[in-house]
Amino acid sequence: LDREEPNYFGAGPALLPTSVLQQAAYDLINYNDENLGIGEISHRSKPAIQVIDDTKANLKSLLNIPDTHEVFFMQGGGTTGFSSIVYNLFANYAKKTNGKKGKAAYAVTGSWSKKSAEEAQRLGFDVDIVVNTKDKKFAEIPPYSEWKPIDAESTAYLYVCDNETVHGNEYKDTPAPDYLPEGVELVADMSSNILSKKIDVSKYGLIMAGAQKNIGLAGLTIYIIKKSLLEQPSDEELNKYGIPLPPIAFHYPTVVSNNSAYNTIPIFTCHILKLVTQRLLDNGGLEKQEEINKKKAQVLYEALAKYPNFYRLPVTSESARSNMNVVFTLPSDELEAKFIKEASENKLTGLKGHRSVGGMRASIYNAVTLNSVELLVDFVKEFADKNA
């Protein structure tokens, strides 16, 4: 099983290392020489539990996850996370406050955080939008001094999207360091940049990440949660407080106490995650990966910035530009179509921007090599030289 190395910049589902897919393809048919594939065995069998445990151990090692935090997996993706976070964290808040409903602060810096805030509201919870850059077309992440102050007395958590996949902005350091009041939990969606850089997990109450962009296949979501946030009132108590019960398949304490296999975990997807994390560890961990990712982003942004009248970078704040999703536009729809067509003829694919914003987007996740990015850089320059 082989393929020519793709130069693929799609945003998600996204590229995976060929070596991982080759191993996974074999294991899909015959895992551990047992004459059964990894997706065919019971999710409660020993080999399946081993896959879950190994994946957790790899994540703990890569992200240096402290004992205060737990890792678990659930079916679904980012959108499932939007809903499950709300139910579970408000239930935890009720536990901490003897039945208070409270509210959540949301930082809207792109379409994914916007959708998540809307879901929390749709489910009937109080949401305070502390910053919203929609009017500025999500071109920056404003300084925290410009964010609305958080009411520590009544706020359960602050929600951020660490990397906005569609609009191409990213928090480069732990979000809201001095802004966040003590006792208010930091919740981050890292669906499109988890394992792209080192982070300080101890600063987060909860990290949620769909696997299908930077690190795996669709179907599985990673959660890293502060153990104290797993405490929830009983169903009877929640009913008494008038706070909705988290659906059982997405009830974090139940999922954790069943080692992520309360119901059927997509074990093949988890196995891919195990192989991807193992490869990251073997290749020098996140320090090394972060260095490569920064280099890739740097060469691409530099190439685009050389032609300011031709390529436009909608994220105007340089410090907020994503190292994962590089968005840019050209002077006309015709030139954009020509760019996509000629790039594809040069075997550079997946460059079309999200349908909601148009333009171009080069997603340069972990599996995209520096070599692929350099080929794109050469094309970016050539195209501008010919067409500007």
| Footprint of ligand PLP (CB under 6 A) | 12, 77-79, 112, 161, 165, 189, 191-192, 210
Token pair, residue 119, equals: 């879901």
Residue of 95, 213, 274, 296 marked catalytic? 213
Give residue for tokens 């080999």: 47
Which is nearer to ligand PLP, 210 or 233 (by Cβ)?
210
Beta bridge partners of 340: none
Residue of 112, 147, 226, 296 marked catalytic? 112
Which is nearer to ligand PLP, 83 or 278 (by Cβ)?
83
Token pair, residue 208, equals: 């949620």
For residues 182 and 153, the answer to whether their CB atoms sit within 8 Å is no
151 is catalytic: no
147 is catalytic: no
Residue of 27, 95, 114, 189 marked catalytic? 189
What are the φ and ψ backbone dihedral angles of 353, each rounded to 5 degrees? -70, 170
Separation of alpha carbons 208 and 127, rounded Å: 19
Which is nearer to ligand PLP, 86 or 303 (by Cβ)?
86
For residues 314 and 167, the answer to whether their CB atoms sit within 8 Å is yes
Separation of alpha carbons 88 and 314, rounded Å: 35
For residues 74 and 210, the answer to whether their CB atoms sit within 8 Å is no
* 96 C-beta neighbours (distance < 10 Å), count: 16
Which is nearer to ligand PLP, 289 or 363 (by Cβ)?
363
**Least distance to ligand PLP from the beta carbon of 83, Å?**
10
Long-range CB pairs of 331-337 (<8 Å, 24+ gap) are 335/387, 336/360
Which is nearer to ligand PLP, 111 or 289 (by Cβ)?
111
**Least distance to ligand PLP from the beta carbon of 214, Å?**
10
**Least distance to ligand PLP from the beta carbon of 325, Å?**
8
Separation of alpha carbons 196 and 198, rounded Å: 7
Token pair, residue 373, equals: 């990015």
Three-state secondary-structure class, residue 96: helix
What are the φ and ψ backbone dihedral angles of 100, each rounded to 5 degrees? -70, 145
Separation of alpha carbons 26 and 20, rounded Å: 10
Angle in degrees, 0-180, between the axes of helices 267-282 and 285-305, rounded to the nearest 10:
90
Residue whose beta carbon is closest to ligand PLP: 77
Which is nearer to ligand PLP, 206 or 303 (by Cβ)?
206
Give residue for tokens 């929830």: 232
What are the φ and ψ backbone dihedral angles of 157, each rounded to 5 degrees? -155, 160
**Least distance to ligand PLP from the beta carbon of 171, Å?**
12
Token pair, residue 326, equals: 């590089």
**Least distance to ligand PLP from the beta carbon of 224, Å?**
15
**Least distance to ligand PLP from the beta carbon of 162, Å?**
8
189 is catalytic: yes
Separation of alpha carbons 246 and 234, rounded Å: 11
Token pair, residue 202, equals: 């101890």
**Least distance to ligand PLP from the beta carbon of 10, Å?**
11
**Least distance to ligand PLP from the beta carbon of 67, Å?**
28
Which is nearer to ligand PLP, 78 or 233 (by Cβ)?
78
Which is nearer to ligand PLP, 78 or 266 (by Cβ)?
78
The CA distances from residue 4 to 26, 108, 296, 358, in Å, are 18, 40, 21, 29
Active site residues per annotation = 112, 189, 213
